[in-house]
């Protein structure tokens, strides 16, 4: 009996629709054997490339390398995605075993001298092969990827590089785990009704549900966005606002097991060491070589342009909020960071008579889904059909089949909307399977795409009613998913969202523009109880208020960009005070009083654990692109099918097959300028 091999779903042919992942069959114990088998198979594939006695060619070296490691890529994709969306202690412990093994394997490949010699040979003799645009780009990417991953390093430097990469994978993992655990462990328990003064019914109901889930009396508020945001916006009790604000903004700085201060230093120093080992002055210069920006100077130029353009308006916005607070609290009142959301909301309400609670009833989640899917149908002709036969990893997840305008199957699309203990905060798009075309058969292997959110949950009495900013977030992540679903490249590594980091936010931020368009809102925004369409005058108030505190919000993004650059333009090891360094890095952007104990860096997952190291500026860079792109839709009609088709064909379906500026100018007819963004935000008339 004991000799019967344990079945592992990763080793079997899937019998699911579209070969989707059989989440219902995968157990924690399946990952490690599948990872080990995947490594073993890829090693054999690499060996056969190296020991091929024929002259290295695109087909026998570059293409063979591109197609290697299929099982490993598949298993690690599933594991990595669930580590973010549906994790638990067992998975996190397993990650600590898997990450060093994966890091070592990746280094064994990128530092393999015989493999690199063959790749280099193809690269240097490519003129003899008559390669097309996509083949040339793949060859270029693979060759540069090897160089950037240490292929030219010799002797001790190679060993040092290996050790640094392994340590970095463990440090980033620990950073994320600490952040998630500290977020999950905090709760603000309120037992007196008076403490809830000012809070809308939706926030009170949600807090009561959370208390019930956690088995405590009263109301529980957490550091999850749907709980934290409304509390900071509406709670009248200033002391409680301060308490929650401080809990959020001192995450991972406390004297406990979740402290990230030393981890921040180590991650920064490892990045610096890796960059310098590879011949760069600092990590930003290394990273930006493969970005549209190309240099730290270009990033600073953009950030400083925005700082200069938006600062005067941001200070005016602050003065207005401060004036209102003093009107209510007395002339000696000093507006603190925990007051900003509360009083700016009151000012917005006074100026535009609008707030999230007024809009929520019109943004019932199922209707928003209809609206967002309907927008894609109107622009591109694609349709979505829920398929309960497709397995999912949690009961909150839905799976859809997506069909193109001619009715052919386009993609699988998973949606996961609500917070839970096993899910990290924020919102993101990812894929479980990329897209590629089989060059022999011509078969177009279609992608499996997923979007993950942390939206307001339904309560006993009400369905999930979203805030306006949650609607914008949905549109943002859905834009990323269209980039994935429309992918139409020959090679998976050039497909979909595999583009320069400062270009990847264009499709997502572009979609956010529709949120304030009446013709879009009228397609779905109906009152969840009465069915009444959102009134025109309410839509007008959304439009009128869309630039409320836009300059302040811009400076906030610029501050994150400056902080990121301050960490990654360093060329000497850092062993100072993380909090003090942070405050110095972004001081030019700070409008509210600075609080000594707070720290963003210790919870700034984007730049310490999420791939945005020396890349946070990308959001603003892509915003320049998205404002410029949408201005063409505004000019020709926001649902114009010709413009939408051009956007799909030139940007969304092309992935990383060409340089992003080539793709952009092909769509737009010109390079972008900052003007459209300044006009959209009301900074420039």
Known catalytic residue: 439? no
Residue 438's Cβ-count burial label (10 Å; 0-12, 13-18, 19+) is exposed
Which three-class secondary structure state does DSSP give residue 540? helix
Please give the structure tokens belonging to residue 553. 């919000």
- DSSP state, residue 408: -
Residue 17's Cβ-count burial label (10 Å; 0-12, 13-18, 19+) is middle
Strands 448-452, 383-386: parallel, antiparallel or unpaired by DSSP? unpaired
The DSSP secondary structure of 262-280, one letter per residue, reads HHHHHHHHHHHHHHHHTT-
How far apart are the C-alpha atoms of 206 and 229, rounded to whole Å? Answer: 12
How far apart are the C-alpha atoms of 681 and 664, rounded to whole Å? Answer: 22
Cβ partners under 8 Å of residue 225, min gap 6: 419, 425, 426, 454
φ, ψ dihedrals at 55, nearest 5°? -60, 135
Cβ partners under 8 Å of residue 195, min gap 6: 237, 240
From the candidates 477, 492, 582, 623, which is the catalytic residue? 477
**HEC sequence for 200-250:** CHHHHHHHHHHHHHHCCCCEEECCCHHHHHHHHHHCCCHHHHHHHHHHHHC
Residue 60's Cβ-count burial label (10 Å; 0-12, 13-18, 19+) is middle
Please give the structure tokens belonging to residue 422. 């096993």
How far apart are the C-alpha atoms of 170 and 164, rounded to whole Å? Answer: 10
For residue 418, what are the CA distances in angstroms to 122, 302, 399, 454? Answer: 48, 35, 15, 5
CB atoms within 10 A of CB 649: 15
Ordered strands of the 448-452 beta sheet: 383-386, 398-403, 409-416, 448-452, 428-433
φ, ψ dihedrals at 599, nearest 5°? -155, 125
Closest CA to 436 of 387, 365, 480, 495: 495
What are the b/e assignments for 473-482, b being 16+ CB within 10 Å? bbbbbbbbbb
In contact, 403 and 409? CB cutoff 8 Å: yes
How far apart are the C-alpha atoms of 487 and 272, rounded to whole Å? Answer: 34
CB atoms within 10 A of CB 193: 10
The CA-based angle 264-609-612, given to 5 degrees, is 105
In contact, 289 and 570? CB cutoff 8 Å: no
For residue 225, what are the CA distances in angstroms to 110, 457, 470? Answer: 40, 11, 10
φ, ψ dihedrals at 399, nearest 5°? -120, 135
Catalytic residues: 477
């Amino acid at each position: 009996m004991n000799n019967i091999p344990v079945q592992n779903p990763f080793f079997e042919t899937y019998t699911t629709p579209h070969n989707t992942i059989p989440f219902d069959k995968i157990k924690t114990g399946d990952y490690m054997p599948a990872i080990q088998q995947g490594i073993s198979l890829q090693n054999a594939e690499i060996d056969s490339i190296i020991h091929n006695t024929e002259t290295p060619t695109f087909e026998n070296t570059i293409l063979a390398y591109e197609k290697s490691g299929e099982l490993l890529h598949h298993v690690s994709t599933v594991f990595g995605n669930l580590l973010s969306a549906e994790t638990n202690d067992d998975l996190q412990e397993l990650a600590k075993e898997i990450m060093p093994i994966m890091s070592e394997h990746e280094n064994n490949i990128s530092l393999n001298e015989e493999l690199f010699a063959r790749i280099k040979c193809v690269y240097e003799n490519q003129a003899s092969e008559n390669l097309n645009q996509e083949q040339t780009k793949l060859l270029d990417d693979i060759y540069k990827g090897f160089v950037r991953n240490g292929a030219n390093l010799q002797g001790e430097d190679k060993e040092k590089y290996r050790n640094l990469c392994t340590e970095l994978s463990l440090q980033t993992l620990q950073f994320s785990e600490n952040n998630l655990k500290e977020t999950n462990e905090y709760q603000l328990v309120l037992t007196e009704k008076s403490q809830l003064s000012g809070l809308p019914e939706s926030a009170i109901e949600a807090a009561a549900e959370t208390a019930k889930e956690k088995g405590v009396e009263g109301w529980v508020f957490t550091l999850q966005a749907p709980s934290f945001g409304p509390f900071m916006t509406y709670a009248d009790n200033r002391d409680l606002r301060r308490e929650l604000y401080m809990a959020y903004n001192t995450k991972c700085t406390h004297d406990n097991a979740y402290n990230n201060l030393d981890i921040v230093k180590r991650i920064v120093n490892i990045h610096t060491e890796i960059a310098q080992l590879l011949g760069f002055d600092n990590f930003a210069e290394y990273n930006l070589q493969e970005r549209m920006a190309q240099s730290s100077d270009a990033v600073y130029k953009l950030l400083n342009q925005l700082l200069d353009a938006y600062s005067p308006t941001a200070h005016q916005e602050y003065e207005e909020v401060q004036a209102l607070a003093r009107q209510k609290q007395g002339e000696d009142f000093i507006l603190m960071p925990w007051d900003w959301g509360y009083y700016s909301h009151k000012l917005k309400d006074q100026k535009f008579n609008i707030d999230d609670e007024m809009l929520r009833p019109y943004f019932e989640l199922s209707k928003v889904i209809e609206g967002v899917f309907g927008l894609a149908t109107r622009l591109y002709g694609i349709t979505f059909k829920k398929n309960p036969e497709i397995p999912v990893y949690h009961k909150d997840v839905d799976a859809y089949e997506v069909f193109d305008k001619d009715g052919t199957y386009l993609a699988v699309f998973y949606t996961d909307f609500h917070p839970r203990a096993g899910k990290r905060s924020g919102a993101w798009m990812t894929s479980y399977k990329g897209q590629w075309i089989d060059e022999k058969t011509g078969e177009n292997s279609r992608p499996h795409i997923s979007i993950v959110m942390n939206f307001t949950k339904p309560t006993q009495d009400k369905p999930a009613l979203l805030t306006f900013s949650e609607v914008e977030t949905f549109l943002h992540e859905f834009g990323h998913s269209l980039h994935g679903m429309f992918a139409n490249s020959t090679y998976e590594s050039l497909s979909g969202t595999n583009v320069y980091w400062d270009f990847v936010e264009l499709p997502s931020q572009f979609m956010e523009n529709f949120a304030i368009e009446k013709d879009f809102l009228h397609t779905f925004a109906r009152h969840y109880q009465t069915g009444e369409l959102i009134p025109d005058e309410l839509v007008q108030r959304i439009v009128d208020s869309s630039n409320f505190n836009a300059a302040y919000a811009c400076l906030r993004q610029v501050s994150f960009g400056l902080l990121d650059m301050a960490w990654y333009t360093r060329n000497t090891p850092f062993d100072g005070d993380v909090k003090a360094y942070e405050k110095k890095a972004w001081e030019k952007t700070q409008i509210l009083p600075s609080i000594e104990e707070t720290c963003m860096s210790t919870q700034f997952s984007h730049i310490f654990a999420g791939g945005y190291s020396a890349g946070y500026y990308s959001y603003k860079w892509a915003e320049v692109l998205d404002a410029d792109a949408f201005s063409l839709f505004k000019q020709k009609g926001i649902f114009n099918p010709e413009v939408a088709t051009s956007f799909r064909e030139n940007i969304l379906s092309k992935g990383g097959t060409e340089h992003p500026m080539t793709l952009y100018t092909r769509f737009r007819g010109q390079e972008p300028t900052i003007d459209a963004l300044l006009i959209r935000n009301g900074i420039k008339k």
